[in-house]
Structure 1
């Protein structure tokens, strides 16, 4: 019978080297996503996620969705143009905004802002 110390458990077959672990942590600190780091380093996303949770300095969660169409400054400009009486409708505000060379916004975005 073999001694217990010579037995290799199934868990030992899947050990991840310290070099790979350090590379994963470096990629996470560089701003890589869990999915991209996992595929680049050949490890599972759950492993990368657990490493991310246990980092000394927690990383901010990635921002989801597309960036806003209007900045805070742009929103204030839209509201000011209506309050000053220059424009009466959202379509007029949209046309003025587009005519001034600013990023294109829809009438719905203008209505939501107002």
Structure 2
């Protein structure tokens, strides 16, 4: 355990030295590449204004997303009513989508537990 701590300290020291040496140049390059996104003047008031604009813009988009959700749900209902006419390709795509959703759920659970596999019977 002590050797791992020493190794971790060594890696952290190397990383901090790298950042100290190259961090300023990287910051300048990043700011130059993204200067079109920088608001002038860069003040706290401007940041507050932008955060409020983002919040209320997101709130204003809820009705549109709500309608899109119900349209998608109606489409799924129609597919379910006409499931006898469904092609094998469509069923395969739906099955793969469901499998992908389940896999992302499992991955999220594993990450949430700190990358441990306890509780699963593998």
TM over 0.5: no
TM-score normalised by length of structure 2 = 0.26
- From the two aligned structures, give the one with the greater helix fraction: 2
Q: TM-score if structure 1 supplies the norm length?
A: 0.27
Bigger CA radius of gyration: 1
Higher relative contact order (CA 8 A, sep 6+): 1
